[in-house]
């Protein structure tokens, strides 16, 4: 908030030089009808607002009634985006108080439609659109004083939005949504967050032919020119904010892992698709052990979708297996990665470097019975390898077919099945089908929310195995202690912290994950584990362990209005 500051004599007060329409137009400062009579006098607001003086609680109630009156979630999404752009305190108060209801609207699955319709829904700029033709202006753009307080950035290039593919500039909906969860679930002050869209063009013909498309109307740039643009951005970020947290989001699989490896030792950064997805899947699997009784060292994991997300999941689970006592080679043999060309087997052409650790030896599958000898499909894997766990990150609806699920149920008393692809339309199977095809025995986790199942005559919520259980806490912990890097060890402790909070630990009939309504508490738990790991690894400076919890809680902002004072200074 470059036009506002906290009053040193009264830390709860805020001083601003803005007044009148300018004050009401600033979403970080606007209170709407909740400006007091004295503030209306002080800031020349009489006549610009209706005379009734309201409260935040009344505003939340009013907006909730309007929100619920809409017919579709996309309408609700558009309404909430406009609310965020007009009054952030009210937006986040509404979100925090109604997390379970609004999480699917603010983020998955509705954010996918929001990205597809982003150009049509665009009303007011939020964050930064950095386009390749303006590569030489990046430093100047980031230098504006309005960004002085930034501590967390989420960035995308829009190429692989959820399971929907290239959405070009419409991909900006993802950083906006993720950072809304950083505040709603993790407590970061919205003034410290910055969504960024790196616009390098798009190969989506619908975008290029749409007269309303707001992005750079150019085919997607690749190769060295792309790498140079990304590097210019990263170096500008490091120069501007030496301690910022940079989260990569929804890059194509080859770029996602490649950029992570290139920059992970240069600043505090991580890729949520690779590492956040891995942590929530690992944490949920560790929780499922309380239900199935199958030790981690005896699990066999089949993953449908061997991209950066799938291999990220496999890597973290494999590390958990070695932590539990298996050798690295023993653990590696327990993974069966299935992609568009079938099971990854030695000798396949075009395998990425991050896929190599999970390639099965030909000798291990030589005696398998196959439906088609030229390709080892998912059903072949399930019938021959008899996996205990089936994870989907393929974006292919229906990939977990009835024969696949029934085969899983044939070989496992309680098969663990996680169709994690987002949005809902891209899920590998619905919980209802999994429940029916497994005769009610499947242990289910989904990436997006689904309606409850009926078990033993009672409603049973489906666990939403979503990254929102992980990344807000990881970011909160890293920022609170100014961690120099984000490591795989930090994601491992995040996964274990999530598993430790599982209701199923005390009752195997309960859910694997805490309720969505407790996400702010879960984020604090994860943040504490992450910050302690960062301290253990020597990635913090001048921080003692007994300070860590206090530093974390000091970063947590609760949406509320504070009194304002006015200064005539043009900048404070």
Cα separation, 189 vs 555, in Å, equals 8
The answer on whether 422 is annotated among ligand-binding residues is yes
**Residue 380 in domain:** yes
Question: Do residues 115 and 174 lie in contact, with contact meaning Cβ atoms separated by under 8 Å?
Answer: yes
Cα separation, 343 vs 358, in Å, equals 10
**Residue 514 in domain:** no
Cα separation, 369 vs 380, in Å, equals 7
**Residue 488 in domain:** no
Q: What is the CATH number of the domain that holds 137?
A: 3.40.50.10380
Per-residue pLDDT of the chain (572 residues; tens, 9 = 90+): 667 765 433 346 899 999 999 999 999 999 999 999 999 999 999 999 999 999 999 999 999 999 999 999 999 999 999 999 999 999 999 999 999 999 999 999 999 999 999 999 999 999 999 999 999 999 999 999 999 999 999 999 999 999 899 999 999 999 999 999 999 999 999 999 999 999 999 999 999 999 999 999 999 999 999 999 999 999 999 999 999 999 999 999 889 999 999 999 999 999 999 999 999 999 999 999 999 999 999 999 999 999 999 999 999 999 999 999 999 999 999 999 999 999 999 999 989 999 999 999 999 998 999 988 889 999 999 999 999 999 999 999 999 999 999 999 999 999 999 999 999 999 999 999 999 999 999 999 999 899 999 988 889 999 999 999 999 999 999 999 999 999 999 999 999 999 999 999 999 999 999 999 999 999 999 999 999 999 999 999 899 999 999 999 999 999 999 999 998 754 43
Residue 413's region, left for phi above 0, alpha for psi from -120 to 50, else beta, is alpha
Exposed/middle/buried for 469, CB within 10 Å: 0-12, 13-18, 19+?
buried
**Residue 480 in domain:** no
Q: What domain range is 160 assigned to?
A: 55-251
**Same domain for 293 and 232:** no
Place of tokens 């470059």: 2
**Same domain for 205 and 296:** no
**Same domain for 216 and 98:** yes
568 labelled catalytic: no
Helix (H, G, I), strand (E, B) or coil at 194: strand
The answer on whether 160 is annotated among ligand-binding residues is yes
The answer on whether 290 is annotated among ligand-binding residues is no
**Same domain for 286 and 139:** no
pLDDT at 10: 39
Question: Do residues 20 and 44 lie in contact, with contact meaning Cβ atoms separated by under 8 Å?
Answer: yes
Question: Do residues 27 and 84 lie in contact, with contact meaning Cβ atoms separated by under 8 Å?
Answer: yes
**Same domain for 282 and 244:** no
**Same domain for 341 and 245:** no
Q: What is the CATH number of the domain that holds 433?
A: 3.40.50.720
182 labelled catalytic: no
**Same domain for 230 and 295:** no
**Residue 44 in domain:** no
**Residues 107, 213, 469, 561: which is the catalytic one?**
107
DSSP state for residue 102 in the 8-state scheme: H
pLDDT at 12: 66
**Same domain for 355 and 285:** yes
Domain boundary among 472, 488, 507: 472
**Same domain for 335 and 441:** yes
Three-class DSSP labels, 416-440: EEEECCCCHHHCCCCHHHHHHHCCC
Query: What torsion do the CA atoms of 483, 487, 489, 491 make, to the nearest 10 degrees?
Result: 90
Helix axes 519-536, 488-500, angle to 10 degrees: 140
**Residues 31, 124, 135, 178: which is the catalytic one?**
178
**Residue 233 in domain:** yes
**Same domain for 233 and 149:** yes
pLDDT at 6: 52
**Same domain for 243 and 116:** yes
Domain boundary among 439, 472, 505: 472
Residue of 337, 346, 315, 338 lying closest to 328 (CA atoms): 315
Tokens of 192: 């410290």
3-state DSSP percent of the chain in helix, strand and coil, to 5: 50, 15, 40
Domain boundary among 472, 501, 527: 472
**Residue 418 in domain:** yes
> φ, ψ for residue 304 (rounded to 5)?
-95, 110
How many domains is the chain partitioned into structurally?
Answer: 2
Helix (H, G, I), strand (E, B) or coil at 469: helix
Q: C-alpha distances in angstroms, 232 versus 229, 243, 248, 505, 508?
A: 5, 18, 15, 47, 51
**Same domain for 145 and 66:** yes
The answer on whether 384 is annotated among ligand-binding residues is no
The answer on whether 100 is annotated among ligand-binding residues is no
**Residue 80 in domain:** yes
The answer on whether 222 is annotated among ligand-binding residues is no
């Amino acid at each position: 908030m470059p036009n506002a500051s906290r009053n040193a004599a009264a830390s709860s007060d805020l001083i601003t030089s803005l007044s009148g329409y300018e004050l009401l137009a600033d979403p970080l400062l606007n209170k709407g009808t909740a400006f007091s009579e004295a503030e209306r006098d002080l800031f020349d607001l009489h006549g610009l607002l209706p005379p009734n003086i309201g409260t935040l609680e009344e505003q939340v109630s009013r907006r909730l009634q309007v929100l619920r009156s809409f017919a579709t979630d996309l309408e609700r999404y558009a309404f909430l985006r406009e609310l965020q752009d007009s009054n952030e305190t009210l937006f986040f108060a509404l979100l925090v108080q109604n997390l379970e209801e609004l999480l699917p609207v603010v983020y998955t699955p509705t954010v996918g439609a929001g990205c597809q319709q982003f150009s049509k829904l665009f009303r007011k700029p939020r964050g930064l659109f950095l386009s390749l033709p303006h590569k030489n202006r990046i430093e100047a753009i980031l230098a504006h004083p309005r960004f002085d307080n930034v501590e967390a950035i989420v960035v995308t290039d829009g190429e692989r939005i959820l399971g929907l593919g290239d959405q070009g500039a419409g991909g900006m909906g993802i950083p906006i949504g993720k950072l809304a969860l950083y505040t709603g679930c993790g407590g970061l002050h919205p003034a410290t967050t910055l969504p960024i869209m790196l616009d390098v063009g798009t190969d989506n013909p619908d975008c290029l032919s749409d007269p309303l498309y707001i992005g750079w109307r150019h085919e997607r740039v690749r190769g060295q020119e792309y790498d140079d643009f990304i590097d210019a951005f990263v170096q500008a970020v490091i120069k501007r904010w030496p301690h910022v947290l940079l989260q990569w989001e929804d890059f194509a699989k080859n770029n996602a892992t490649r950029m992570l490896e290139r920059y992970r030792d240069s600043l505090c950064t991580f890729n949520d698709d690779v590492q956040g997805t891995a942590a929530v899947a690992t944490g949920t699997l560790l929780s499922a052990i309380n239900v199935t009784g199958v030790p981690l060292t005896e699990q066999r994991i089949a993953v449908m979708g061997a991209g950066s997300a799938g291999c990220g999941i496999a890597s973290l689970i494999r590390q958990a297996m070695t932590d539990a006592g298996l050798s690295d080679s023993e653990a590696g043999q327990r993974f069966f990665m299935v992609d568009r060309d079938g099971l990854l087997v030695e000798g396949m052409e075009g395998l990425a470097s991050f896929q190599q650790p999970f390639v099965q030896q030909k000798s291990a599958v030589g005696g398998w019975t196959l439906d088609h000898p030229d390709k080892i499909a998912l059903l072949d894997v399930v019938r021959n390898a008899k996996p205990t766990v089936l994870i989907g990150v393929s974006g292919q609806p229906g990939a977990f077919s009835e024969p696949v699920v029934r085969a899983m149920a044939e070989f496992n008393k309680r098969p663990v099945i996680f169709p994690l692809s987002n949005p809902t339309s891209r899920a590998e199977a619905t919980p209802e089908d999994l429940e029916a095809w497994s005769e009610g025995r499947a242990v289910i986790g989904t990436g997006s929310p689904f309606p409850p199942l009926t078990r033993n005559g009672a409603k049973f919520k489906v666990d939403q195995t979503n990254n929102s259980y992980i990344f807000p806490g990881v970011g909160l912990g890293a920022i609170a202690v100014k961690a120099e890097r984000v490591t795989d060890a930090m994601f491992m402790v995040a996964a274990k912290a999530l598993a430790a909070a599982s209701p199923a630990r005390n009752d195997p009939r309960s859910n694997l994950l805490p309720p969505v309504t407790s996400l702010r508490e879960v984020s604090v738990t994860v943040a504490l584990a992450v910050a302690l790991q960062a301290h253990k690894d020597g990635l913090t400076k001048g921080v003692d362990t007994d300070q860590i919890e206090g530093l974390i809680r000091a970063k947590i902002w609760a949406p509320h209005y504070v009194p304002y004072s006015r200064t005539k200074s043009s900048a404070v």
